[in-house]
Structure 1
Amino acid sequence: MATEQITLAQTIRVEGARILATLIRTVGDVQIAEDAVQEASLVALATWPTHGVPPEPRAWLTVAARRKAIDILRRERARPAKELDALRLRELETPDLPQESIVHDDLLRLIFTCCHPALSPPTRIALALRTLCGLSPAQIAGVLLTTEVAVNKRLTRGRQKIAAAHIPYRIPAEHDLPDRVPAVCGVVHSLYTAGHAPLEGDYAYDVDACAEAVRLAELLCDLLPEQPMPAAVLALLLLTEARRSTRLDDYGDVVTLDRADRNRWDGVAIARGIALLNDSLLRTERQADPYQLQAAIAAEHARASSYEATDWAEIVRLYDLLLSIAPSEAARLGRAVAVAETFGAAIGLTALDGLASSSRLHAVRAELLAREHRYTEAIAELDESLAGNATAQERSHRRQRRDTFLQLTKSQEN
């Protein structure tokens, strides 16, 4: 890929949500704003290779997107039964770029628009993941465990409902905030999950998506300083991010938690995450919500001096609480791992019974079978795992584990 294309891709990836949010504020239409950004990107691809990358790529792309939005609005005027919104055009034609503080406000407005109570929870998350971080329908389908066709339908219905119901593009009044906080937190957490644990692709994690999720969580905490849930979400993200630098070794290979160099974990992020969690729990009088419980699990890992010193029994207890209020396959799988560490691999294997088939489930079962010296069965599970979705790094790791189990099988036969 040419340097200009790489620069454009990075600009869209990192700054696209801000550009889009600013346009949506002015235009009041998600589809028109998205079309304008896409058309501006095509212009950049055509002109940057010839004229060079501009000194300020985001500013150039923002201006180009504004112009494309103006063109789209003028084309709309030519259609029957369409009227031109002069106010929207006037604001689009204003030459000054928005200041950074206004851009932040635009992003918050976009989150709250996507999370309007009139939209169904899956539609809110799908729409936000598409507009906030530019995830493709296929990537969103992976996060929501659904199909690409279903995601496209949700996106279309969501945009149509926002337009038809004239859902305002603004942060709601203070008395309306509590109804939207869970949905907004769900969007931020889903964005982080999409970056931290992609189901497939060439990268083990998406640094930009994770950073954007943390930044949005910070903005939410600033907007809602007295609300416990945003603090819990930020705590969870910080405690998880603190360990990211040790997930891969210098060669790009997967490093499992038991082999991680804990001296490289971000102690400042861990301390702040635990403080945010404690403050959040005090505000709910220790009646934990799902994000607080997930953050508490992450805190147990973060505060342990070694893998062996981890309080696995406490993690099992926290997972039991989590499953009682927010059951999910991911939580059940995490609990099974903690059960295996607490009571042994055989009990852990029993805990896996009944879970929905997935690539990660087969990989976990393979490891527990190997602890029981059932290497032939472990190899079969890894074969099942490799047949499903996984990142390139995870596939490489599982193939290495398969080779190890194969050698152990031969040793058993001898």
Structure 2
Amino acid sequence: MRLFLALCFLLGIPSGAPEIHSLKYVVTGASQVPNFPEYVIVGLVDELQITHYDSNTRRVVSKQDWMYKTTEEDPTYWEKETGVSLGDQQSFKADIEIMKERFNQTGGVHIVQKMYGCEWDDETDEVVNGFHQYGYDGEDFISFDLKTETWIAPVQQAVPTKHKWDKDKAKMAFDKNYFTSFCPYWLKKYVEFGRSSLMRKDLPSVSLLQKTPSSPLTCHATGFYPDRADLFWKKDEEELHEDVVRGEILPNHDGSFQMSVDLDLSGLQDEDWGRYSCVFHLAGGQEVSKRLDKRDIRTNWKTNDGGLDTGLIGGVLGVVAVLVVIVCIIGFFVYKKKHPKGFRATNTSETSSSSGEDPAVKKGSSEEQSMLKTSA
């Protein structure tokens, strides 16, 4: 198993696995980060980006054509979403100052992140999960446990917030309704609108890459969808677990995904090369297999004819650069396995801590007026 940003899927899912859908909103507030918006919100359904807002453009835009069907439900959908995001931008900016105070910081680069949303099983029509979590400078800060209806504070600086939110029963009831009713309602709508895209299954192209003769051999799969997939090395018909390093599943700019798995070649005998293969397995049973062959390996030190293969490395670095930007904008947390997926809560901050007030947070589709505060 591995983490994909916030939540990890069980890999190698059999074809009969239930179809779990997720609606997630990821909010990123940045302080003193050059050439990066102060505030970004990204909405995702099944890890596919559906909406985007940032403090530079100051408008919520669709990232999928089928999302415009939302106007069938509410003709003012996009105007409302933009209005909510504009308001949340100001409050979230104040959260960073609260965090800095909590951690006894005065300046520098800082990032506040939030994820919230829900999961729904379209076979049983049951709400599987609801989640809401905050991070600060790459570390967990506070998260909501829907089962116990309590907030969990992994760091001492979050304890005051936990106590405050746990005592607010009206807010707790409102939040629970969002996770179990409002969020699933819109998730079902989005899945209905985009079913043809969300239900597609795309197999990847698989390549063998190696930086230097002494480097591990990387099997790289890119262009697959959905992200419920596995990539592994096997010898003969046995999956390898030793001398293997698995990478995270990462998003591509076009909505597809990529992943890699490294194999240590230091102990590999020449006569055994043909016994190794890299296998990609997509949820539902489809596979792509690539047998280990020296002639297929692409490197940045030489090609098979002795020349320098610079084109490959330039391309790979270009993809990596794009991914860094995407991951930063999306603001995904890489959490421990026990942490659930995140979701879209547009918020208003507790920045009025000096006055003892906690402004309300709006979340979900813009028409909801929530009581979720960011009071860091």
TM value normalised by structure 1: 0.23
- Which protein, 1 or 2, shows the higher relative CO under an 8 Å CA cutoff with sep ≥ 6? 2
Q: Which has the higher strand share?
A: 2
Q: Which has the higher helix share?
A: 1
Which has the higher Rg, Structure 1 or Structure 2?
Answer: 1
TM value normalised by structure 2: 0.25
